[in-house]
A and B are shown apart, each in its own frame.
Chain A
Amino acid sequence: MATIANASELRFALIGTPNSGKTALFNALTGSRQKVANYPGVTIERKTGPLRTPSGRSVTLIDLPGTYSLRARSPDEEITRDIVLGRLSSEKTPDLLLCVADATNLRLALRLAIELKRIGRPLLLVLNMIDIAHRRGIEINLDRLSAELGMPVITAAAVRHGGTNDLLRRIDELAFDETASEENKWKLPTTSELRAAQREADRIIKIAVQMPAKPDTLTARLDAIVLHPIAGLIILLSILFLMFQAVFAWAKPVMDLIAAAFDALGTLVRDTLPAGLLQSFLQDGVINGVGSVIVFLPQILILFLFILILEDLGYMARAAFLMDRIMGGAGLHGRAFIPLLSSFACAIPGIMATRVIDSPRDRLTTILVAPLMTCSARIPVYTLIISAFIPAKQVWGLVSLQGLVMFGLYAAGIASALGVSFLTKYFFWRDDPTPPFMLELPDYKLPRPRSIIIALYMRAKIFLQRAGTTIFSMMVLIWFLASFPRPPAGASGPAIDYSLAAIVGHALTPLLAPVGFNWQINVALIPGMAAREVAVAALGTVYSIQGGKEAAEQIGQTLAGHWTLATALAVLVWYIFAPQCASTLAVIRRETASWRWMAVTFGYMLALAYIASFITYNVAIALGAG
């Protein structure tokens, strides 16, 4: 029994250079049974999954962040180093290291393998994508390679059905060879040691690998167009446009369907249960709360489908190459482009998509500015106020003034995002050197549907589990604020007037009066935290208009009667900047694993909103719009 218990505790770790197909191999070996969590205290994903060898041994497989060396230049490479060296107290040292190499591109991987040998742990080299190497006519003498490297070498084709059978069988034979473990001789390699290791790797390649007489030129031919200074940018913009369209438009029918289903469920609850607290809690708190989380799922899945396909194709590194100079000017990483673009649909998938940015610092900057991009939830607020206050006239003969204001709101969002990222870099990371832009452009490869489906499934699960709990609890809190205390018997005004939200709204009046907000606006801001567009319905409620969102036109007329133009403009400007979305804050909290960054986002956005609204209101008053 003891041996079985020991065997079940076996841990293997996958380690390899970026683009070695490590994650595809991990997906092929563990399927959908993998677990994704964070390492304690950091945002780096910890991916583990169970694996069963043909002889029935069960193993926990860990997918380590990609690295060229154990030198650890970034927090995720530190994780790799600490796990491999057994320095992380929360993790058991792996019993076996599987160094994954792209069989078509061995140079850097063999250098890493030579470095890993110094650790003295059981180690084997997995030549991944061996099928592609064969097809290209690359001949690898496995016995020779194994003898020169001094470690077992196994081939695998992660994307092929059955491509990992040989690997699993050999693991069985090798894993329990007790002789392999030796003293750890690893220390920080000097430049001359790195050079020596690379020379050794080059020597071994010369002996064991024969490149084809006619090399594969597909990648070079594609790159001639894809990386062309002009054609390349046109292709990139077309892909991004298609992606934006998909996230924005294709997700719409499904999102409407989900929203309708939750509405129907809410109605069912309202009709079944007697009016009262329980009914209100289930309908407005639970069902609306859960609905408001699930409604984002189509956008997230579509966005990640694009990202995963582009990543697996090898396009993502090229997009970063094309965008490097453009984004770099604002202190953003080339890869920040996709998350920021997605944030025009919704900041939640955008913030989740910042995972494509390797550098934690660049990722954090992108997360901080993503909510400034004008998301689709601001549109109902903008259109309501614009149509009520901005005259529908033409300026300069052909442009509609309303359209111009809308454009200005979008432009202000983009400009402030770039400005904030520039300032963030200047203030937070001024003394910290910018990591240089240096990355490998991998050969193009066809993505494998199974691997993409597994990854999509994992994303959906993470979103629903992690964000779901936080967003849901915030929704319940907002419901509580808007519902308690209950209106006294015989009350004439809308129920929200008697709630904590109204008390808070009234309390905020002295604070928000300088920006032109009346107490009705302040009260509506609180349920508006659930989602920006909810503010429209909330304003309707506060102004005692029945009919919710359908009555938007009527709300517009009421507002036109109650607000001055200066107030209306101040509200518009407020909505460009204000952190009016509990879900986004919850996702920031989850993605950065810290309350601190959530608070920073909330604070700086609130400050921007207040200052900008204050200026807008007072300038408008001065110009006679009061």
Chain B
Amino acid sequence: MDPADRPTRKSPRFPLGSAERGFCGRIQTIEVASEVSDLPGEELERRLIELGFTEGAYVEILHEGIFGRDPIAVRVNDATVALRRREAMAIIVT
């Protein structure tokens, strides 16, 4: 393994939903805790994957709404996706 990759493995994992605007990183995994969304966990996972939130994808929080910093606009590789922080809690990033 390239030594340059090692620090990212050690850096903490946290949900994208709690990240600040301007955060950039990569998706480690999709992990739907119960009660994250009104949707059943597996359905939310499918929808996130369909919008391009897959392991290893580059993500960056570009914009956020005025009330409660919600929703957020996220760069996912070369596309931009809007979603609420609540659903973004299922996206674990480093």
- The digit string for A205-228, where 1 denotes a CB below 8 A from any CB of B, is 000000100010001100100011
Given known A228-B63, A441-B81, contact A436–B50 (CB-CB < 8 A) = no
| A433 CB contacts on chain B under 8 angstroms | 37-40
| B68 CB contacts on chain A under 8 angstroms | 325
Given known A191-B45, A194-B46, A227-B62, contact A68–B73 (CB-CB < 8 A) = no
> A198 an interface residue at 8 Å Cβ cutoff?
yes
Q: What's the A-B contact tally at a CB cutoff of 8 Å? A: 114
B78 touches A436 (CB 8 A): no
Given known A107-B79, A436-B39, contact A324–B73 (CB-CB < 8 A) = no
Given known A191-B45, A436-B86, contact A326–B67 (CB-CB < 8 A) = yes
Q: With A and B bound together, what is the CA distance between A538 and B5 in angstroms?
A: 80
A209 CB to closest chain B CB, in angstroms? 10
Q: With A and B bound together, what is the CA distance between A230 and B42 in angstroms?
A: 36
B88 CB to closest chain A CB, in angstroms? 10
| A111 CB contacts on chain B under 8 angstroms | 50
> A160 an interface residue at 8 Å Cβ cutoff?
no
- The digit string for B31-70, where 1 denotes a CB below 8 A from any CB of A, is 0000001111011111111111011000000111111101
A325 CB to closest chain B CB, in angstroms? 4
A301 CB to closest chain B CB, in angstroms? 30
B66 touches A211 (CB 8 A): no
Chain A: how many interface residues by the 8 Å CB criterion? Answer: 41
Given known A220-B62, A321-B65, A434-B38, contact A191–B49 (CB-CB < 8 A) = yes
Given known A195-B55, A439-B82, A440-B79, contact A324–B38 (CB-CB < 8 A) = no
Q: With A and B bound together, what is the CA distance between A579 and B44 in angstroms?
A: 40
A107 touches B77 (CB 8 A): yes
Q: Which residue of A lies closest to B48 (CB)?
A: A438
- The digit string for A177-214, where 1 denotes a CB below 8 A from any CB of B, is 00000000000010100110011001000000001000
A436 touches B67 (CB 8 A): no
| B62 CB contacts on chain A under 8 angstroms | 220, 223, 227
Q: With A and B bound together, what is the CA distance between A68 and B46 in angstroms?
A: 11
Given known A322-B65, A440-B51, contact A71–B46 (CB-CB < 8 A) = yes
A581 CB to closest chain B CB, in angstroms? 35
> B80 an interface residue at 8 Å Cβ cutoff?
yes
Q: With A and B bound together, what is the CA distance between A219 and B80 in angstroms?
A: 10
B80 CB to closest chain A CB, in angstroms? 4
The interface size bin for chain B is: 35 or more
B54 touches A198 (CB 8 A): yes
Most A C-beta atoms less than 10 A away, residue of B50, B64, B70, B86: B50
A382 CB to closest chain B CB, in angstroms? 33
> A457 an interface residue at 8 Å Cβ cutoff?
no
Q: Which residue of A lies closest to B66 (CB)?
A: A229
A233 touches B66 (CB 8 A): yes
| B38 CB contacts on chain A under 8 angstroms | 433-436
- The digit string for A76-98, where 1 denotes a CB below 8 A from any CB of B, is 00000000000000000000000
> A560 an interface residue at 8 Å Cβ cutoff?
no
Given known A191-B45, A194-B50, A433-B38, contact A227–B73 (CB-CB < 8 A) = yes
Q: With A and B bound together, what is the CA distance between A546 and B37 in angstroms?
A: 63
> A567 an interface residue at 8 Å Cβ cutoff?
no
- The digit string for A44-82, where 1 denotes a CB below 8 A from any CB of B, is 000000000000000000000000110101000000000
Can you list the 5 inter-chain pairs with the closest CB atoms, starting with the nearest? A433-B38, A229-B66, A227-B63, A68-B50, A441-B80
Which residues from chain B sit less than 8 Å from chain A, CB to CB? 37-40, 42-52, 54-55, 62-68, 70-71, 73, 77-84, 86-87
| Given A211-B78, A321-B63, A325-B66: 11 more A-B contacts, CB < 8 Å | A108-B50, A111-B50, A195-B49, A198-B54, A229-B65, A321-B82, A324-B65, A325-B67, A325-B70, A433-B38, A440-B81
